Amino acid sequence: MLIRDAFSYAISAIKRRKVRKGLAILGVTIGIAAIISIVSLSSGFQNLVSTQFEQGFSSDTLIVTTESISFVDTESDLQLYVNDTDIINGIENVNQSAALLQRTCAIHIGDQEYILGVVGVDFETYSMIFSNTFLADSGSIPDAPDNKSVIIGARVNDPWKNGSVLTSIGDEINITYTTRSGFEIENRTYTGRIDAILGEIGGTNIGGPIDIGLYIPIDTAEDFFETDEVGTIIVQLTSSDEEVIEDTSNEIEESFGNQIQVITPKSVLEAISSIITTIELFVSAITAISLIVAGVGIMNIMLTSLMERTREIGILKALGMHNRTVLGVFLNEALLIGLIGSVLGIVTGSTLALSIDQLGLLENFTTGTYNTVLGEISIRPVFEISLFLNSLIFGVMISVIFGLYPAWRAARMEPVDALRHE
């Protein structure tokens, strides 16, 4: 039998049992759709990590922190202080450094109230380190800020991203810090003045300015929060050479008795990538199982159809069809189920991933934690030709493997027995 004839014969067999074959196809479709949507979104996440993070976090920048990025290690009780920048600036290859004194406060701006991380930082140094992102869109970053100066991120002023701004340059902003002395809960409030609104940054910067950030001078922060303990010091090196980064990191760690962490851009990326890879593996395993279930479904349906078509197999053999051609005819059916299912799955999965993106379900995935500051993350699904091809091959392969046994049984039937079958 010619290949084209074998295919049209298989198509006519699939058409004959539309509902049953349709369900088999659906099984493959669901599995492949899951793979496509999950993998494209997680590659989108990878992409986000490798591009957006790197954007705001130049490779010559280090973060010195008391917090551990590992989930296992216990943190040290050693504290960093504002003046520790002097120690760090004395280390070879360090260009400059800025301490970040961050506390969570309630903010009244216009008629809105937010809970935000308020960051005390030296404006001059910070704007030199993050010269691409710590830039005023309106107003200007003061060279010599007074204790009322406040700089806000774009999203603080325009939370719905629609241009309905809450405030403008020179307006007042109320910052309330809640703390306790002894048993008493104390609310401290001070009124600042908006000197600058940052341009839209987008993406995520570790330690860098973010769209939902609020920045005050470091001296004001020390007075207001009544502390000079800081969680994070951003360090800019004179070079982004790997060896320099490595040596300087070690030196900074040593000068604090190895009680603090120096996070390099590379280590952050590696940590996040390894988490993503683990998640991806786990999810892929689940999806693979769902496809195997689909395969068992195909096998079941093909065995049923085999019983129904025993007589037909007898006819084909009586007409002189080779055993291997009978095998081929049945495998063709499984192959077509896999092919149709996979193509539908690719379309469905892509649509699903795109609609998740369009509906913005993964946007505003924002957090402002104590020391590690994440900005706005938006995940765009990434579709690669290889993803489509691999899914197609995988879907077809599963179908064919599970179709093999029924097809083999069909091929081995004795014509006289098959013809006698009722």
Where along the sequence are the contacts to other proteins (CB under 8 A)? 1-2, 5, 9, 12-13, 15-16, 311-312, 314-323, 325, 414-416, 419
| Alpha carbons 76 and 62: distance in angstroms, whole number | 19
Nearest partner of 306 among 326, 321, 325, judged by Cα: 326
Which tokens belong to 29?
């479709």
Count of beta carbons in the 10 Å neighbourhood of residue 235: 25
Q: Of 161 and 311, which CB lies nearer to other proteins in the complex structure?
A: 311
CB of 363 to other proteins, least distance (A): 51
Write the secondary structure of 277-293 as one string of H (helix), E (strand) and C (coil): HHHHHHHHHHHHHHHHH
Q: Are strands 61-65 and 80-81 parallel, antiparallel or unpaired?
A: unpaired
Nearer to other proteins, 18 or 188 (CB): 18
Q: Are strands 94-109 and 80-81 parallel, antiparallel or unpaired?
A: unpaired
DSSP string, 164-211: --S--TT-EEEEEEEEEETTEEEEEEEEEEEEEEEPP--S--SSS--T
* 114: helix, strand or coil: strand
Residues 6+ apart with CB under 8 A from 94: 88, 235, 236, 237, 238, 248
Tokens 């002395």 sit on residue: 181
For residue 398, the minimal CB distance to other proteins (Å) is 27
| Nearest distance, CB of residue 408 and other proteins, angstroms | 14
- Which tokens is 411 given? 């091929």
Q: Indicate the residue among 166 and 419 with the shorter CB distance to other proteins.
A: 419
Specify the residue, 137 or 417, whose C-beta has the smaller distance to other proteins.
Answer: 417
Tell me the closest approach of the beta carbon of residue 313 to other proteins, in angstroms.
11
DSSP 160: T
C-beta of 318: minimal distance to other proteins in Å?
A: 6
Q: What are phi and psi of 366, to 5 degrees?
A: -100, 145
Q: Give least dist CB 409 to other proteins, A.
A: 15
Q: Report phi then psi at 104, rounded to 5.
A: -90, 130
Nearer to other proteins, 2 or 144 (CB): 2
Least distance (Å) between residue 300 CB and other proteins: 21
CB of 22 to other proteins, least distance (A): 16
**CB of residue 281 to other proteins, shortest distance in Å:** 45
Q: Of 73 and 422, which CB lies nearer to other proteins in the complex structure?
A: 422
Token pair recorded at residue 293: 């279930």
CB 272 within 8 A of CB 72: no
Our CB check for other proteins shows the closer of 173 and 313 to be 313
Closest distance of CB 4 from other proteins, Å: 8
The smaller minimum CB distance to other proteins, of residues 337 and 344, is found at 337
**Contact, 378 vs 45, CB < 8 A?**
no
| Residue whose CB is less far from other proteins, 144 or 319 | 319
DSSP per-residue letters across 294-339: HHHHHHHHHHHHHHHTHHHHHHHHHTT--HHHHHHHHHHHHHHHHH
Task: Enumerate helices (H) and strands (E) in the chain, giving the number of each.
Answer: 13, 12
Closer CB to other proteins, 266 or 420, in the complex:
420
